[in-house]
Amino acid sequence: MKTIFKSLLVITVLTMVLGSCGKGDSKKKGALSSNAAERVYVAPGEYDEFYAFVSGGFSGQLAVYGLPSGRLFRVIPVFSVDPEKSYGFSEETKPMLNTSHGFIPWGDSHHPDISQTNGELDGRWVFINENNTPRIAKIDLTTYETTEIIEIPNSAGNHSSSFVTENTEYVVAGTRFSVPYPQKDMPIKEYKGNFKGALTFIAVDPKDGGMSIKFQLMMPGFNYDLSHPGRGASHGWFFFTTYNTEEAHSLLEVNASQNDKDFIAAINWKKIEEYVNNGGGTKAPANYAHNVYDEHTHTATSTMKKEVLIINPSDVPGAVYFMPTPKSPHGCDVDPSGEYIVGSGKLAAELTVHSFSKMLKAIDEKKFDGDAYGIPILQYEATLAGAVKQPGLGPLHTEFDGKGNAYTTFFISSEVVKWKLGTWEVLDRKPVFYSVGHLMIPGGNSRKPYGKYLVAMNKITKDRYLPTGPEVTQSAQLFDITGDKMEMLLDFPTIGEPHYAAGIPASILMPKSKKIYKLEENKHKYVTKSEGAAKVVRNGNEVHVYMTMIRSHFAPDNIEGIQVGDKVYFHITNLEQDYDVPHGFAVIGANTSELLIMPGQTKTNIWEPKQVGVWPFYCTDFCSALHQEMQGYIRVSPKGSNVPISFTLDGDAVDAE
């Protein structure tokens, strides 16, 4: 019997394989002939080689994938509320989304960048920018939680962000939509000369990653699109691409595409830092939120900052230069040695590469071609290292493999092109499906790239997956770049728009991942560390429930004495100290989300009962064999009722475990 079954199985498999070969034709042959499937297959129970932190784009979040499998592990809520994880709904996390415009439930996340030490990925934090309401967030890579968000004043369209310097001295945030500085009511047509583009340097505390704005450089009112730090010899400099040097304020698709060349701004931040440390700069009034989540109180606080240090380029001579770069450059990418700065003129016929050493020489020899608002413009030929000829159409972004090769995305011709640094020759080109924006090589934007895989992040998906109505999935594609030619291995769907990503070897992050929060280190204002300490306290019409949860019950689980019109705070502590035993909490009619509470953590939900009755609450995360039994009741009496507050577990006052 077994033999028959086996031979049937073999026949079936063979038929399937042959069948697929037959109709697979040239397009599908790749996977079988090159073992692509094998090379992205991570067997059950085994681990991926890399983490990829992929921006969720207009979802406002940051997704964590494994490479090469393309499997999604976690969506870290950053700039948008996430009811699944109670982010932005629990009392503890609401302050994270506070801004000078009030509570904002959504953001547009763009460019994740992992912290570095000596120009190499160190895996402490990942930073990411929000474009719409300018903010920079920091995610802790031991908890994979957003632990800090700082708003950027005097900025709009926070796009040339959030890239870190080689020792994470600074994370940088640039302005894409220049705005009046200071903001005021004025005619839009008076843009030219009156709007400013702030480039913000945020100092990062080397101990805890705490962010604070060191200074804002008030640049002319261009659009600052992308940026990257110098490294190695060019450490101390930062490079920003600009477009709309025309300073148009309407129909930019035409009016901002008139100049033959825009600029790459080269900023000597070390020089400005020195100026600031010697008391330079002007303190100006500002109003921006600084939100910090404390891992021990499990609570975020939001502070409004009222001042920022402003630097004008003319204040620090020799700190800011413009390098002419053809046609609205997008990417501004520095190779691992720090010598080459690749400007991707997105409407240009070739890819421009500047040389850092030639730039220094040109500055030294004063090879200027006039100035813009007092900022010297270097002669185009004087800084030019070379150009990649006929590379493709619509270059956007370049990363490096650490073996002397560069990889550039082309949006219009929908391809990734591999070319050689120094000789500028094109080595390979591969189509992507479709219209790729950024690409990512783990560490490809550091001194030490891990040049094994390349992820192309596409803007358009069309027919690549099963259709799901007018809106189809967003998508990324994985290439193997170890050979002379790139090989496409895998398509995988992503959340939101996979705008950009940062990758890092799993071996750096895995050992640091936290398993639980220690209950004894919980300093939450309303923590309940044992069932005996659980209680219900009325304070006017506010009722505070100090509740605990452990497999498989709440304490207390019967509560009486609540009245319609009360504001009930459920402060719930998960007493578990075991890996992967979160509990959830939901109560009927709550106008918030569920709570998802990790072992050792406390979270708070507000419940405002509107109807008399006895209402259940329960655990939402399948925690144990008795998960279905993990429930309780809360009795709501009419307003003014004389039912006293009481709270019990198994009929007893809650006092013993």
CB of 85 vs other proteins, minimal distance in Å: 23
CB of 67 vs other proteins, minimal distance in Å: 23
Site residues (CB under 8 A) for other proteins, limited to 338-377: none
Q: What is the 3-state secondary structure (H, E, C) of 538-562?
A: EECCEEEEEEEEECCEEECCEEEEE
Q: Are 61 and 53 in contact (CB under 8 A)?
A: no
Q: In terms of CB distance, is 251 or 625 closer to other proteins? A: 625
CB of 517 vs other proteins, minimal distance in Å: 12
Closest to 271 in 3D by CA, of 363, 365, 208: 363
Q: How many residues bind other proteins (CB under 8 A)?
A: 9
Q: In terms of CB distance, is 171 or 519 closer to other proteins? A: 519
Alpha helices in 164-223 (DSSP H): none
CB of 574 vs other proteins, minimal distance in Å: 12
CB of 337 vs other proteins, minimal distance in Å: 43
Q: In terms of CB distance, is 254 or 626 closer to other proteins? A: 626
Site residues (CB under 8 A) for other proteins, limited to 557-586: 576-579
Q: Which residues contact 85 (CB under 8 A, 6 or more apart)?
A: 77, 596
Q: In terms of CB distance, is 294 or 578 closer to other proteins? A: 578
In single-letter form, the type of residue at position 581 comes to V
Edge to edge, the sheet with strand 487-494 lists 436-440, 453-458, 474-480, 487-494
Q: Which residues contact 9 (CB under 8 A, 6 or more apart)?
A: none
Q: In terms of CB distance, is 233 or 626 closer to other proteins? A: 626
Q: In terms of CB distance, is 243 or 618 closer to other proteins? A: 618
Q: In terms of CB distance, is 371 or 629 closer to other proteins? A: 629
CB of 631 vs other proteins, minimal distance in Å: 15
Q: In terms of CB distance, is 361 or 515 closer to other proteins? A: 515
CB of 514 vs other proteins, minimal distance in Å: 13
Q: Which two tokens stand for residue 258?
A: 């008139």
What is the DSSP secondary-structure string of 17-75? HHHHHHHHHHHHHHHHHTTHHHHH---TT---SEEEEEE-GGG--EEEEEETT--EEEE
CA-to-CA distance for 146 and 136, rounded, in angstroms? Answer: 11
Q: In terms of CB distance, is 551 or 567 closer to other proteins? A: 551
* Residue from 551, 567, 608, 631 in contact with other proteins (CB under 8 A): 551
What is the distance between the terminal CA atoms of the chain, rounded to a whole angstrom? Answer: 56
Q: Site mask, other proteins, residues 238-277, x = CB under 8 A?
A: ----------------------------------------
CB of 45 vs other proteins, minimal distance in Å: 9
∠ CA 81-82-85, rounded to 5°: 135
Q: Does residue number 550 form part of the binding site for other proteins (CB under 8 A)?
A: yes
Closest to 61 in 3D by CA, of 77, 49, 50, 47: 77
In 100-245, the DSSP E strands lie at: 102-103, 113-117, 120-130, 135-140, 145-151, 163-164, 170-174, 179-180, 195-204, 211-220, 223-229, 237-243
Q: Helices (H), strands (E): how many in the chain?
A: 7, 47
Q: In terms of CB distance, is 429 or 551 closer to other proteins? A: 551
CB of 577 vs other proteins, minimal distance in Å: 4
What is the DSSP secondary-structure string of 236-291? TEEEEEEE-TT---S-HHHHTS--SEEEEEEEEHHHHHHHHHTT-SEEEEEEEEEE
Q: In terms of CB distance, is 45 or 187 closer to other proteins? A: 45
CB of 600 vs other proteins, minimal distance in Å: 10
In single-letter form, the type of residue at position 342 comes to V
CB of 548 vs other proteins, minimal distance in Å: 13
321: β partners: 266
Site residues (CB under 8 A) for other proteins, limited to 597-636: 625-626
* Residue from 375, 427, 460, 516 in contact with other proteins (CB under 8 A): 516
Site residues for other proteins per CB under 8 A: 516, 550-551, 576-579, 625-626
